[in-house]
Structure 1
Amino acid sequence: MEFSKIFYFLSVSIVLTLAPGPDNLFVMIQSITQGKKAGIATSLGLCTGVLFHTTAAALGISAIIYKSALMFKLVKYLGAFYLIYLAYKAYKDKNEILHPQEGEKLDSVSLYKKGVIMNILNPKVSLFFLAFLPQFINESGRSIPLQMVFLGLVFIMQALLIFTIICLFSEKLGEKIMHNENIWGKIGIVKSLVFTMIGLKMAID
């Protein structure tokens, strides 16, 4: 694979990752409410989902989902339902966010799973990689599926770096907000609204 194509792919990937979207919001809100470790655990889950979508694109599974309107809608609505469920949980636990327990152990595994499920249940990500990756493939080079997986790994590495930076800044923002009882008291509601908006957008798009 040509270095110029890899460099161009990396540049485009960084722009796409920095663009405001559901993943950025999801990582940011987790970092604000639970700290950078929560955001990083969520980011790892989201990036694991990206690996799933990359592999699906390489094997042609994404194309099958694209061709099946019923399957596409099923995955899309499952993803939307899951996010609205997370919104309900966030609203239900809003008092725990208002008064976080000192020394409370972070459930990183649960946050990781949330990131994985959220990403896998977003068929638009599969379609994105199905359309995006082939543009940077060298058709005369080695195995095309392997090239697509390699590019997927490049995308994951830059996404993890950007998400980590978002986590660090969001945690600092959360620390400042925490000292303002009026604002912090509404964080649970804001978190619930953000998840609801992401879920509804996924369902309507």
Structure 2
Amino acid sequence: MLIPGTGVIFTISVGLFQGYRASCYAALGCTFGIIPSLLASIFGLAVVIYTSAIAFQIIKFLGVAYLLYLAWSMWKETGSLILDEKEEKNNLLDVASKAFLINILNPKLTLFFLAFLPQFIPQHAEAPLNNMLLLGGVFMVMTLCVFILYGLLANSIRGYIINSLVAMKYIQRTFAASFAMLGAKLAMTER
């Protein structure tokens, strides 16, 4: 099923409601949120998450709770835009932090790296660690570029959205429902 992930939905929503600059911070946060999953896969911690039902469930339900928090925050959002430059800087760091947490609290990302990356490492590679780091780095660069593109596209229609309070309200509610549905989907995920 081709459903955009939480990072994509978050980046698009930030691009629509806060602009291109904020969506770039969301893209950076999502990209840096890949690092712990990549390192867990490289150093074998992903196997612990995969084989330990308790570890997987803890990470999974923290992720579910966080997605539901994002859904609630988006649902109750007033739609006001930031005009104060100092407040905007703090908000950009908040956006990056939220995006970072989205990927850290997604156990499926760690399992993705565990299942996906080793397939592309030659069996008799002299430096499999270097190969994993290279593949992970390529994945991160691609993620960053694609997410920035999503933010740019969202920002391009931003003017239509922010000029209509009715459209803003319904789009915010749609994003809130999307986060809630992704949280429900994650809650039903099995290892």
- The reply to whether TM is greater than 0.5 is yes
For residue 78 of structure 1, what is the aligned residue in structure 2?
62
| Partner SS state of residue 4, structure 2 | coil
- The corresponding residue for 1:58 is 42
After TM superposition, the structure 1 = structure 2 runs for residues 1-205 of structure 1, keeping only pairs within 5 Å, are 20-92=4-76, 94-95=77-78, 97=79, 99-103=80-84, 105-106=87-88, 107-205=91-189
**Distance in 2 of aligned mates of 1:174 and 1:101:** 14
- Superposition deviation, residue 101 in structure 1: 4.2
Q: CA deviation digits over 1:79-99, x for unaligned, max 9? A: 01011112222223x22x1x3
Partners of 1:35 and 1:171 within 8 A in 2 = yes
Map Cα deviations across residues 133-178 of structure 1 (whole Å, 9 max, x no partner).
0011023223212211111000011111111111111011222122
Distance in 2, Cα, partners of 1:39 & 1:154 = 21
Unpaired segments ≥5 residues, structure 2: none
Q: CA RMSD in A?
A: 1.8
Paired-residue identity, %:
32
Following the alignment from structure 1 to structure 2, what is the Cα–Cα distance between the partners of residues 71 and 188? 33
Over 6 Å off, 4+ runs: none
Aligned to 1:138, the other structure's residue is in SS state coil
Contact between 1:54 and 1:126, CA under 8 Å: does it hold in 2? yes
